[in-house]
Structure 1
Amino acid sequence: MNLPTRLLGICIASVLLAAGPAAADIQISLKSAKSSSSYYKMGEQLAQALKTGSNGEIVVTVAESTGSVQNILDIENASDDYIFTSPPILVSLSQQGKAMFADKDSDDFHTIRALFPIPSLTMHFVMAQESGSLTFSDLDGKSLLMDNGTFASREGAKYINLFGLEGKVTIVDAELSGAEKALKSGKVDGFVTAGSWPAPMVLEVAMETSVNLLTMDGEEVKKTKRTPMVIPGGTYPGQDDDVTTTSVPMVVYTTTEMDDDTAYLLTKTFWEQKKDMIKSAAWWEGVDDRLMANITGRLHDGALKFYKEVGFPIAEDQK
């Protein structure tokens, strides 16, 4: 090797050393829900938003899950890159060793920490407009399609009993895929579904058929022991007024195994990307700082740092 070539090699090596090593990707594993669910789709959207917002520094692998209970159980074998979705109530039950976690009490459950809320699972009671049903008292003598075995059907049946409508409402057990046809043909007066608003299925039905969404009063919401949710007027075609219903909050969690810098970056990137996420899926519209009140239990210290910086409302028991 001649002298000029050797000098060039030395110069290049010096520049590379001065620049330092390339920033390593932050590899994250996300467990959400079944691949057929809207929450799996949200997981994919979240993964893309985190990658885009971090200029490729955050790389999220979305894995299918049987549900939130399994997501919580999986933390026993999870590493520091693990994030998952769950309703806060299930996290609380796991940490108390109650219900489905009664025989699975683990110290690992106490390491769970919240990062940020995602769209809530919201109950929709969708009625054919010609049925004239606007409130639950109007359901007397009506028929409702419910997909047996789903959260929506269990919740819907619970409300019918709570509001004194048992035996007064005909329940039609059928798959939700046939709800629009059944509604149009008059075979049912309405159907029950649960999903983040605006729910794609409800949008599709409302564009083809005139429908009303049942609304609840304050006492009815209290009886359900669920979190109140207001679906803003204009969310669905023909829905001019706000609709009060119930919801199950959903949150992205990790554990104390995750370092503060990573938790901070994930949380900051999520909120900065939310406006762009709304452009691809309107259900992100329902996520704002008001949903922070639905997070029970502690926030991760890295996420807490971000919320303090931006002035989000934080309760004492979240710190």
Structure 2
Amino acid sequence: MAIPRRGILAAGTVLAAPTLLASRRASAQGQQLAIATGTTGGVYYPLGGALANLISRQMPGMSATVEVTGGSVGNLQLLGAGRVGLIFTQVDAAVDAVRGNERFRGRPVPARAIAVIYTNRMQVVTVASTGIKSIPDMKGKRVSTGAPGSATEVMALRLIEAAGLDPAKDFRARERLSPAESTNAVKDGKLDAYFFVSGIPTSAITDLGASPGVQIQMIDHAEYTAKIVEKHGPVYFNEVIPAGTYPGQATDNKQMSVANVLAVREDMPAEMVTSLLKLTWEGREDLARTHAEARNFKLEGQKTAAAGIPWHPAAEAYWRSAGATLA
């Protein structure tokens, strides 16, 4: 499947800003929708590409493109600036954005959820040769905490703090790499471990596990979730990545997760929201042919608590009419 790609955005910085497309800007060819996704080694990007193709094929007068970004934080910044119309985002970053907290201090984003799609898993990845078996074992090591503008970085720093480490002092080096860059750095012996939050399986981690001479090691960290929730609110929960999800993964990985949502600005017209939701919901099997995580987009997952941020009124009405309880 060919995935449309218009430009690379990192750390929330907009490249070639005049060419970016807002949610409903009219053109000679019709309306255009820009979808902010993530890095190419994750799940947001291929799913966003599949969704863009679905929209372009099946919504009359509409074409959609995907933007490669650093991830949730950058996506929310772009949405706040009105430079994209639809975003993939983790709930924790979305909550901060709506409240104007942390990286959004003084600049709240009028984001509204339209769908809870699937779970993002915090994956802490290393190889057996590093000797790392826990988060505290990373002290003095070279680690990557995720790309700038990503929710991976937000979640990784919270996890590191909960484990009693100081990200500014306790690592030999702290890099800010994408998952694909991190995998390559580990294979080249330039990095000891990395954090990445995504659906499973993640292509970059699969690549690492399948590399000759490499024994992948997924680090358990579910023991820190309660401490993080106590400080940052009930947006995180424990799950397990089953053994065998990645080549060479011999044991279950007990880890911390967060929900993902599709979000738009609060001022997106109701009819646009309804059309997008109807197409996405009815086309979820098409999306699943691109990545299996789309099968975790379910009616019972449409819960107000899981969304974390307010629903767009049209989305709330759509889900109620579809039979979701929301509460």
- Distance of 1:170 and 1:100 partners within structure 2: 23
Mapped contact 1:196–1:283 kept (Cα < 8 A): yes
The one of 265, 276, 283 equivalent to 2:275 is 265
1:120 Cα deviation from its structure 2 partner: 5.0
Partner of 1:20: none
Q: Structure 2: which 5+ residue stretches go unaligned?
A: 1-28, 230-234
**Distance in 1 (alpha carbons) for counterparts of 2:60 and 2:69:** 25
Between Structure 1 and Structure 2, which shows a larger proportion of helix residues? 1
Residue 283 of structure 2 aligns to a residue whose secondary structure is helix
Structure 1 residue 148 displacement after superposition: 7.5
Q: 1:232 to 1:93 in 2, by over 3 A?
A: closer
Alignment of 1:272-291 (within 5 A): 272-288=282-298, 289-290=300-301
Q: Could you tell me which residue of structure 1 aligns to residue 123 of structure 2?
A: 124
Aligned structure 1 segments of 4 or more residues deviating by more than 6 angstroms: none
Aligned partner of 1:191 among 186, 194, 205: 194
After superposition, the C-alpha distances for 1:45-89 in whole angstroms (9 at most, x for unaligned) are 21113344x3656532445667134224224x88xxx33344444
Task: Say yes or no: does 1:312 pair with 2:319.
Answer: no
Q: Is 1:246 matched with 2:259?
A: no
CA contact (8 A) 2:220 2:253 kept: yes
> Identity, % of aligned pairs?
19
- Output one character per residue of 1:228-281: Cα deviation in whole Å (capped at 9) or x when no partner: 353531321233554232345432222454443432232122122222212222
Partner residue in 2 for 1:143:
141
Seen in structure 2, the aligned counterparts of structure 1 residues 229 and 189 have a Cα distance that, compared at 3 Å, is same
Which one of the candidate residues 28, 31, 49 is aligned to 1:27?
Answer: 31
Equivalences for residues 176-255 of structure 1 within 5 A: 179-180=182-183, 183=186, 189-208=192-211, 209-217=214-222, 219-225=223-229, 227-228=236-237, 230-233=239-242, 234-239=244-249, 241-255=251-265
Q: Contact 1:26–1:59 (CA<8 Å) still a contact in 2?
A: yes
Equivalent residue for 1:68, pick from 61, 75, 100: 75
**Could you say what the CA RMSD is over the residues aligned between the two structures, in angstroms?**
4.0
Question: Which amino acid in structure 2 is aligned with residue 300 of structure 1?
Answer: H
Larger radius of gyration: 1
Q: CA deviation at 1:221?
A: 1.0
| Counterparts of 2:95 and 2:154, CA distance in 1 | 21
Q: Is the 8 A contact 2:117 2:301 kept in 1?
A: no
Return the offset for 1:202.
0.3
- SS for the counterpart of 1:280 is coil
User: Cα deviations across residues 16-53 of structure 1 (Å, max 9, x unaligned)?
Assistant: xxxxxxxxx9835234156767444432221113344x
For 1:94 and 1:165, the matched residues in 2 are separated by: 26
Is the partner of 1:194 in helix, strand or coil? strand
**Equivalents in 1 of 2:247, 2:101: separation in Å?**
42
The 2-side partners of 1:185 and 1:61 are apart by 34
Instruction: Quote the Cα distance in structure 1 between the aligned partners of 2:69 and 2:139.
Output: 39
The normalised TM-score by structure 1 is: 0.68
Kindly tell me: are residues 228 and 135 of structure 1, through their superposed partners in 2, closer, same or farther at Cα, counting changes over 3 Å?
farther
Aligned-pair CA distance for 1:314: 0.4
Structure 1, residues 82-118: CA drift from partner, whole Å, max 9, x if none?
Answer: 3334444454445444444444468xx3xx4321134
Cα drift, residue 215 of structure 1: 1.8
Change (3 A) 1:101 1:125: closer
Corresponding residue to 1:50 among 29, 51, 55:
55
> Does the Cα contact within 8 Å between 2:41 and 2:204 map onto a contact in 1?
no
- Residue in structure 1 matched with residue 232 of structure 2 by the alignment: none
Does the 8 A contact of 1:30 with 1:60 survive in 2?
A: yes
1:299 to partner: Cα distance:
2.0
Distance 1:283 1:142, change over 3 A: farther
